[in-house]
Amino acid sequence: MKQPRPYPRLTVTKKGERWLSSGHLWVFESDVAEQPPAENGAIVDVLGPGGAYLGTGLLSHESKIRARIVSRNANDRFDQAFWDRKAAWAWGYRRTVLGPRSLPGCEPDTACCRVLFSEADGFPGMTVDRYGDVLVAQPTTAGMDRLRPQVYAAVLKALAEDPSGPAIRGLYERADGTVREKEGLDRHQGWWLPESGSPADGLLPSHTTATQVRVQENGITYTVDLARSQKTGFFLDQKYNRRAVGRLAPGRRVLDCFSHVGPFGLNAAKGGAEFVRCVDISQTACDLALANAQTNGLVGTMAFTCANVFEYLDALIADKRRLREDGGPFDLIVLDPPAFTKSRSTQGRALRGYREINNQALRLLPRGGYLATCSCSQHMPAELLKQAVAEAAHDARVTLRQVEERQQAPDHPILLDVPETHYLDFLIFQAV
């Protein structure tokens, strides 16, 4: 580089240069030729072996992903204005792609959505979700952890300039994931309080203690526990897939497996299902699902079972009387399992898991019934999920007709050059 810059320089190998030139945003430890003596989380310029500027990223001392690119523009200055622009772009995108989809007479779809989605929005390792007038943030990388005050201030500024939504009254940090340990970071959670005089000072209350909030999605009200629920409190990525299930539900008997706090089941019940049974291994989740059904006046058509889904489905297959007692036969079955794999090394085992659970569901599904099934792991892409379902259908002697192929909601955007941002695939079939 010819012009002087204030940032330490990290040099990559030829392989690393080819990787970054392909459009990806990560510098792997194995591709580092020379690493500067900079602090963990520092901003560094990334150069090719010949000195060509490849981008500016955030350094991670202890991660196998040694740096994550945040800009490829050598003229960028990484001050508050830089992060303000990026947050404004991220929120403007969501207003564009979510706003027109809002259901008539219901809350805006931007009232309950993902505000920042890590690399896909240029904030690698930072997730921020909005639940009405509360934000929940998950910083998972050293760089984003170091930049939290600037990033939070930028997000709050972008939302404050949008007159269509409520003022944000609090930001809760879920910095408690085990992935932080791989970055050399501590684990904690709690309400974030900006320093006096910071750009965010005055936008948030001095303190608050309640971590349960009421939110609305698809016209359904939920109680979300920010402190104790999975992820940031709710699975926002399935928003429109839940609507798709609701559209299939009128007059049907629905089995919602791995139901968590009941969003698929609630959308089915609100959509006109005759009966919905939700099954989840967590008693806490089942209790919250029941409470959500009561809040929405849907408890009369819903029932809840706390059980291991694999064991429960086996019991229904083996005992037709139990099936009838529990509300079956079910002509719409929803499978929303947790990720069966978090790495490529366990992909084979995960494939067997998806094949087994779909086989169980198809053995219960009558001809003409519908199966909605999904994978929430980037290591189980749509083609592998289809393979698992096809093999399950063959074993169950069922012919399937594909109705829809869907993915994560657009507030969880996918970068074509970063396949890791695509992690959710959702398929709907009819047994014919």
Distance between CA atoms of residues 208 and 203, nearest Å: 13
Distance between CA atoms of residues 412 and 316, nearest Å: 36
- DSSP letter at 183? G
Phi, psi of 214 (to 5 degrees): -95, 130
Q: What is the pLDDT of residue 340?
A: 75
Q: What angle do CA 274, 279, 283 make, to 5 degrees?
A: 130
| Neighbour order of strands in the sheet with 43-47 | 26-28, 65-71, 53-59, 43-47, 9-12, 32-34
Which is it for the CA torsion 264, 269, 275, 277, positive or negative? positive
Q: Which residue has the tokens 């994931």?
A: 177
Distance between CA atoms of residues 70 and 47, nearest Å: 14
0.75 cut: is pTM over it?
yes
Q: What is the pLDDT of residue 196?
A: 56
The answer to whether 204 and 137 are in contact (CB under 8 A) is no
Q: Tell me the three state secondary structure of residue 108.
A: coil
Give the residue numbers marked as catalytic.
Answer: 376
Q: What is the pLDDT of residue 349?
A: 79
Token couple for 162: 């949008």
Q: Which domains are assigned to the chain?
A: 9-71 (2.30.130.10), 80-212 (3.30.750.80), 235-431 (3.40.50.150)
Distance between CA atoms of residues 182 and 418, nearest Å: 21
Phi, psi of 358 (to 5 degrees): -70, -35
Distance between CA atoms of residues 138 and 175, nearest Å: 5
- DSSP letter at 405? E
Q: What is the pLDDT of residue 380?
A: 81
Phi, psi of 220 (to 5 degrees): -110, 135
Give 46-104 as a DSSP string. EE-TT--EEEEEEE-SSSSEEEEEEE--TT---SHHHHHHHHHHHHHHHHHHHGGGPPT
Q: What is the pLDDT of residue 199?
A: 46
Bridge partners, residue 240, by sequence: none
The answer to whether 90 and 107 are in contact (CB under 8 A) is no
Q: Tell me the three state secondary structure of residue 334.
A: strand
Q: What is the pLDDT of residue 356?
A: 95
Q: What is the pLDDT of residue 347?
A: 75
Q: What angle do CA 337, 343, 347 make, to 5 degrees?
A: 70
Distance between CA atoms of residues 337 and 354, nearest Å: 9
Q: Which residue has the tokens 């040099």?
A: 11
The answer to whether 43 and 72 are in contact (CB under 8 A) is no
Q: Please provide the distance, in angstroms rounded to a whole number, between the alpha carbons at the two ends of the chain.
A: 63
Q: What is the mean pLDDT of each run of 10 residues along the chain (432 residues)?
A: 81 98 96 96 97 97 96 95 98 96 93 97 97 95 96 96 88 93 92 66 55 92 86 89 98 97 97 98 93 96 97 97 97 91 71 93 97 89 92 97 97 95 96 96
Count the neighbouring beta carbons within 10 Å of the beta carbon of residue 69.
Answer: 20
Specify the amino acid at residue 53.
Answer: Y
Q: Comparing C-alpha atoms, which of 326, 263, 327, 272 is closest to residue 295?
A: 263
Per-position b or e across 37-63, b if 16+ CB within 10 A of its CB: eeebbbbbbbbbeeeebbbbbbbbeeb
Q: Which residue has the tokens 């299902």?
A: 273
Q: Comparing C-alpha atoms, which of 179, 169, 204, 176 is closest to residue 190?
A: 176
Distance between CA atoms of residues 151 and 122, nearest Å: 11
Distance between CA atoms of residues 82 and 186, nearest Å: 27
Give CA torsion, residues 423, 424, 430, 432, to 10 deg: 10
Spell out the residues 6+ positions from residue 376 whose beta carbon is closer than 8 angstroms to its own: 237, 336, 337, 338, 339, 423, 424
Respond yes or no on whether the N-terminal peptide bond of residue 381 is cis (omega within 30° of 0).
Answer: no
Token couple for 122: 């240029």
